[in-house]
């Protein structure tokens, strides 16, 4: 066994202000209210900055700024809007190290992931939708598709900047203006993005950022002058939003939870499958809506696969997210850690067998070791509910038909994975799996050209690709 020397990324590349205002109409403005909250580094509990939790009046001001900007922005030729989006994409690339460090500080995810996954995908999204801005007439949504107006967008904390990109890039390409609310625990990269909008000379009011928690989010989605609501987060809040906007004429997309099956057949390349299973559930501490949180393994190779998986988990390095060798970072918040602990304890109470590698946890901050449950039954809560943490439930199957039945036996339907050597079996499975994305011999791969979204309680609407334009056009 050899040890790695510490390889911390420097945090000097990012300049965090002690406190932030709201970004409205291209200016930094004070909130009308007094409600200020600290955002912390979940790996150390150190306070990073203070932000305002915007009031209903603040949200109204932001929506009015977006409405005012909508006329000229939507009238601008697509080729002109594209220039702004390309400029934003390039600035994101230029400032990607700064953005990655800030994302890791505020969120707790390993720098290796924010640097190599989040940031490249964020830039790619802006480049991709910049390319559509002058080609909307050829997107299959009619000869002269019109934007919707003002989009109210609420995003979660697991991929703060990437979810911002998924929401803002298509909205702007189509000629809408936006008011975006980042999650309460991860506001900082959205606020730096506001700075980037200024740097790109984006016309004032096209992008507005209001920080806050659930009440601010509710004020935004319920604002009467919002034409389009886009939400990513829990199924519970998604349901509330669907109820509150019903009958209002607002167009809605909801991207909610998941409980994806990652299905390994006995003819699969097992070493590759092990990597795919690890990437499926331990990437981003398992804070991933499309995480492969249920491993379905064919009975004949279950022991062999589990042994290999346990050996692999013992090599994962948990700790300082800014260290370039870290695989598993911090859990994003005390609340999320409590939820992961509660569901994991329940797994044991319900009779599943719990296993974690030897894994010392840091004293400060929020941490949870990579965990596997075996002997899991379909009825167990850890097999049915989204844990949203580094916790894998293992079930077995004998036949492809049984695998399909078990995989689909969930209220969700966001993603699934299939590991097999047979192309015909991949197609047979993909036809039958009720999931928005089906990965074959890989997992958690994202591309801006590929649509993403769910069945059933995983939500509705698609983000990404040509399909993602439809959510922001009056079609
Ligand atoms: P959440 O759904 O409460 O938060 C997501 C976003 O919605 C945040 O920006 C939040 O401020 C906002 N929000 C909360 N209440 C709102 C309301 N009434 N109206 C409008 N916006 C509102 O999720 P939370 O509490 O952070 O996590 C709880 C669970 O949800 C997690 O354990 C996980 O299972 C799931 N989740 C799923 C995500 C996904 O990507 N599918 C992302 C985040 C959480
Ligand atoms: Mg919440």
Q: Any idea where the domains of the chain sit in the sequence?
A: 19-255+455-470, 261-440
Query: Residue 185: pLDDT band by 50, 70, 90 thresholds?
Result: very high
Cα dihedral sign for 18, 23, 28, 32?
negative
Backbone angles phi, psi at 117, to 5 degrees: -120, -65
Alpha helices in 229-354 (DSSP H): 235-245, 270-282, 299-313, 334-349
Closest Cα to atom 38 of ligand 1: 233
Mutate to test the pocket of ligand 1, among 106, 156, 255, 344 (most ligand atoms within 8 A of CB): 156
Q: Please state which of the four CATH numbers 3.50.50.60, 3.40.50.1820, 3.40.605.10, 3.60.15.10 is assigned to the domain occupying 19-255+455-470.
A: 3.40.605.10
- Going from the Cα of 275 to the center of ligand 2, the distance in angstroms, rounded, reads 32
- Check pLDDT > 80 for residue 103: yes
**From the CB of 244, is ligand 1 less than 6 Å away?**
no
Q: How far apart are CA 65 and CA 59, in angstroms?
A: 10
Among 184, 255, 457, 463, the active-site one is: 255
Q: Is 458 in the pocket of ligand 1 (CB under 6 A)?
A: no
Instruction: Determine the Cα–Cα distance for residues 427 and 208; give it in Å rounded to an integer.
Output: 44
Say what the pLDDT of residue 404 is. Answer: 98
Q: What is the pLDDT of residue 349?
A: 97
Ligand number with the minimum distance to the CA of 244: 1
The pLDDT of 281-307, averaged and rounded, is 98
**Do 261-440 and 19-255+455-470 have the same topology in CATH?**
no
The 10s digit of each residue's pLDDT in 324-341 is: 999 999 999 999 999 999
Pocket test residue of 54, 56, 166, 234 for ligand 1, highest count of atoms within 8 A of CB: 234
Looking at residue 470, what is its pLDDT? 96
Reduced to 3 states (helix: H, G, I; strand: E, B; else coil), residue 109 is coil
Q: How far apart are alpha carbons 219 and 53 in whole angstroms?
A: 12
386 lines ligand 1 (CB under 6 A): yes
The predicted model gives 400-426 an average pLDDT of 97
pLDDT at 3: 85
The alpha carbon of 304 and the centre of ligand 1 are apart by a number of angstroms equal to: 38
pLDDT at res. 1: 65
261-440 domain in CATH 3.40.309.10?
Answer: yes
360 has a pLDDT exceeding 70: yes
Mean per-residue pLDDT for 298-327? Answer: 98
Section 105-129 average pLDDT: 98
- How far CA 431 is from CA of 192, 418, 439, in Å, comes to 42, 12, 12
What separation in Å is there between the alpha carbon of 335 and the centre of ligand 2? 9
The DSSP 8-state label assigned to residue 362 in this structure reads P
Report the nearest atom of ligand 1 relative to the CA of 389.
32
Q: Residue range 106-133: average pLDDT?
A: 98
Q: How far apart are CA 412 and CA 425, in angstroms?
A: 23
425-465 pLDDT, tens digit each:
999 999 999 999 999 999 999 999 999 999 999 999 999 99
Could you give the percent of the chain with pLDDT greater than 70?
Answer: 100
Q: Is the CB of 289 under 6 A from ligand 1?
A: yes
User: Across residues 333-354, what is the average pLDDT?
Assistant: 98
pTM score? 0.98
Judged by its nearest atom, the ligand closest to the C-alpha of residue 157 is: 1
The helix-helix angle for 188-199 and 78-94 (nearest 10°) equals: 120
What are φ and ψ of residue 389, in 5° steps?
-160, 180
Residue 144, pLDDT > 80, answer: yes
Q: Is the CB of 453 under 6 A from ligand 1?
A: no
Q: Does the active-site annotation cover 9?
A: no
Question: Ligand 1: distance of its center to the CA of 183 in Å?
Answer: 8
- Give the per-residue pLDDT at 169: 98
Centre of ligand 1 from the C-alpha of residue 458, in Å:
13
pLDDT digits 0-9 by tens, 233-262? 999 999 999 999 999 999 999 999 999 999
- Model pLDDT, residue 389: 98
What spacing in Å lies between the alpha carbon of 334 and ligand 1's midpoint?
15
């Amino acid at each position: 066994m050899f040890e790695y020397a510490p390889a911390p990324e420097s945090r000097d590349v990012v300049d965090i202000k002690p406190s932030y205002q709201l970004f409205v109409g291209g200016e930094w403005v004070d909130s009308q209210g007094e409600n200020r909250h600290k955002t912390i580094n979940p790996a150390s509990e150190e306070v990073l900055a203070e932000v305002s939790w915007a009031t209903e009046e603040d949200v109204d001001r932001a929506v009015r700024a977006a409405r005012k900007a909508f006329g000229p922005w939507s009238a601008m030729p697509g080729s002109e809007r594209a220039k702004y989006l390309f400029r934003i994409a390039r600035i994101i690339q230029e400032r990607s190290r700064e953005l990655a460090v800030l994302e890791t500080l505020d969120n707790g995810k390993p720098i290796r992931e924010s640097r190599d996954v989040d940031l490249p995908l964020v830039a790619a999204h802006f480049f991709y939708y910049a390319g559509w801005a002058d080609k909307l007439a050829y997107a299959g949504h009619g000869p002269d598709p019109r934007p919707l107006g003002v989009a109210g967008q609420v995003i979660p904390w697991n991929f703060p900047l990437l979810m911002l990109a998924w929401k803002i890039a298509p909205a702007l390409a189509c000629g809408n203006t936006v008011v975006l609310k980042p999650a309460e625990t991860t506001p900082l990269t959205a606020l730096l993005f506001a700075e980037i909008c200024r740097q790109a000379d984006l016309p004032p009011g096209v992008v507005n950022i209001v920080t806050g928690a659930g009440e601010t989010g509710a004020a935004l989605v319920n604002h009467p002058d919002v034409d389009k609501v886009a939400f990513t987060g829990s199924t519970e809040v998604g349901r509330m939003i669907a109820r509150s906007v019903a009958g209002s004429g607002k167009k809605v997309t909801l991207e909610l939870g998941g409980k994806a099956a990652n299905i390994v057949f006995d003819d699969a390349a097992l070493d590759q499958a092990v990597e795919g299973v690890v990437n499926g559930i331990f990437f981003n501490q398992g804070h991933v809506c499309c995480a492969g949180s249920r491993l379905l393994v064919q009975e004949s190779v279950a022991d062999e696969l589990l042994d290999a998986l346990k050996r692999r988990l013992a090599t994962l390095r948990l700790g300082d997210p800014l260290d370039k060798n870290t695989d598993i970072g911090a859990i994003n918040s005390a609340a999320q850690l409590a939820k992961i602990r509660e569901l994991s304890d329940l797994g044991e109470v319900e009779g599943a067998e719990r296993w974690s590698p030897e894994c010392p946890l840091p004293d400060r901050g929020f941490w949870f070791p990579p965990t596997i449950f075996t002997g899991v039954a379909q009825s167990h809560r850890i097999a049915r509910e989204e844990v949203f943490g580094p916790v894998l439930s293992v079930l077995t199957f004998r036949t492809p038909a049984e695998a399909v039945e078990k995989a689909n036996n969930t209220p969700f339907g966001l993603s699934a994975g299939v590991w097999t050597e047979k192309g015909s079996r991949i197609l047979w499975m993909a036809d039958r799996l009720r999931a928005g994305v089906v990965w074959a011999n890989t997992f958690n791969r994202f591309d801006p050209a590929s649509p993403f979204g769910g069945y059933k309680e995983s939500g509705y609407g698609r983000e990404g690709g040509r399909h993602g334009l439809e959510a922001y056009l009056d079609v």
